[in-house]
Amino acid sequence: MSDEEKKVIKHVVKIDNMEVKVAKKRVTSAKLIESGILSPDDADMDKRARQAVSNAKRKAKVCKKPLAVYDKNKKAPVLVDSDGKQVNIG
């Protein structure tokens, strides 16, 4: 890994025959493009994926559907109702 990559990459995860580079928190897409790790097309795809997740969360809330999330404090998955009530599922 180059010095530039070391500045923005937290660690590398190996999945089968692929290596997935995990960026450090608060590293922007622009910084990843600048360092050559992310292409502009990849950054656009990431932006669209984040927006799709945000839209799905908003739609679940509007439609009063529960949303499965991971509670970091409980270290378990929970269902969150549209009113904010949590139900353990794990």
pLDDT (0 to 100) of residue 34: 87
Quick one: three-class SS letters along the chain? CCHHHHHHEEEEEEECCEEEEEECCCCCHHHHHHCCCCCHHHHHHHHHHHHHHHHHHHHHHHCCCCEEEEECCCCEEEEECCCCCEEECC
pLDDT, tens digit (0-9, with 9 covering 90-100), for 2-54: 777 888 889 899 999 998 888 898 888 888 888 888 899 988 998 999 999 99
